[in-house]
């Protein structure tokens, strides 16, 4: 029987009994339909996970008795930072979810010239919070114990100037491939365009900031496919998918 994993934003310690916050309690009670004495796994994003059992469950509260700590980690040895042009609805959500499963460390949603979605200031934080929740759910599902960060929405030109490590951007017109590159450290920054691709000016700005254009095969990929293909490729080349 598969044991449910739940992220908890609070301090955890073995032999303590904790009360879950309202959202986590509702998820266990109403969605997973957990019963008293069922086993659960909790983690707080600081590394490792806690095995426990349901000590009490009611409409008012869910109490978990923490029985043991497992200092497990499935984090990649390669720190991958992804900047991705914001795409519409479920495409962006899909890209975030699968990027977390593939071991991304940080995701930065970017406003670019050809973005179909243009967020007003009052919507940016609401969107970031929503995307962070999607990342959290993917962390729970994939067995990771550290929550990847979803950064605030930022402009393309500002973001590219702040990056480090091996910096590459996906460009169907490039003549280089990942196999021709080698990171000097275990940090790779990927830049993936929106549905409309990068403008010529943005391509120039990225190259001036040290980003190397690379292509992923002969076909033009959709934005979410390109980002996930690049993540898979760098994890195969230098990360833990070849383990």
**CATH number of the domain that 210 lies in?**
3.40.1280.10
Residue 101 sits in the same domain as residue 45: no
Residue 32 sits in the same domain as residue 84: no
Residue at 243 is within a domain: no
Residue 129 sits in the same domain as residue 232: yes
> What's the domain count of the chain?
2
Question: Rounded to 5 degrees, what angle do the CA atoms 220, 204, 86 make?
Answer: 55
Select from 70, 89, 119 the last residue of a domain.
70
225/229 Cα distance (integer angstroms): 6
- Name the helix (H) or strand (E) containing 86: none
| Domain assignment of residue 177, given as a range | 79-238
Q: What is the pLDDT along the chain (243 residues), one digit of tens a residue?
A: 578 899 998 899 999 999 998 888 888 888 888 899 999 999 998 889 999 999 999 888 899 999 999 999 999 999 999 999 998 878 999 999 999 999 999 999 999 988 877 788 888 899 999 999 999 999 999 999 999 999 999 999 999 999 999 999 998 889 999 999 999 999 999 999 888 889 999 999 999 999 999 998 888 888 889 999 999 999 999 999 876
213/117 Cα distance (integer angstroms): 24
Residue 25 sits in the same domain as residue 144: no
């Amino acid at each position: 029987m598969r044991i449910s994993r739940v992220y908890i934003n609070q301090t955890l310690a073995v032999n303590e009994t904790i009360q879950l916050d309202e959202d986590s309690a509702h998820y266990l009670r109403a969605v997973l339909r957990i019963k008293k004495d069922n086993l659960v796994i909790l983690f707080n994003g600081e590394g490792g996970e806690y095995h426990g059992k349901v000590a009490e469950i009611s409409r008012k509260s869910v109490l978990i008795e923490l029985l043991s700590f497992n200092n497990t980690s499935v984090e990649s040895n390669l720190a991958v930072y992804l900047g991705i042009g914001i795409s519409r609805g479920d495409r962006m959500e899909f890209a975030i979810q699968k990027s977390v499963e593939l071991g991304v460390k940080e995701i930065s949603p970017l406003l670019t010239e050809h973005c179909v979605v243009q967020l007003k200031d009052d919507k940016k934080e609401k969107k970031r919070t929503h995307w962070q929740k999607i990342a959290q759910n993917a962390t729970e599902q994939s067995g990771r114990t550290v929550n990847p960060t979803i950064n605030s929405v930022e402009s393309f030109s500002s973001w590219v100037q702040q990056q480090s490590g091996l910096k590459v951007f996906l460009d169907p017109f490039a003549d280089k491939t990942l196999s021709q590159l080698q990171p000097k450290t275990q940090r790779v920054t990927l830049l993936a365009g929106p549905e409309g691709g990068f403008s010529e000016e943005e391509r120039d700005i990225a190259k001036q900031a040290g980003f190397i254009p690379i292509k992923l095969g002969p076909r033009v990929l959709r934005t979410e496919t390109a980002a996930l293909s690049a993540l898979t490729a760098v994890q195969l080349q230098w990360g833990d998918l070849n383990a």
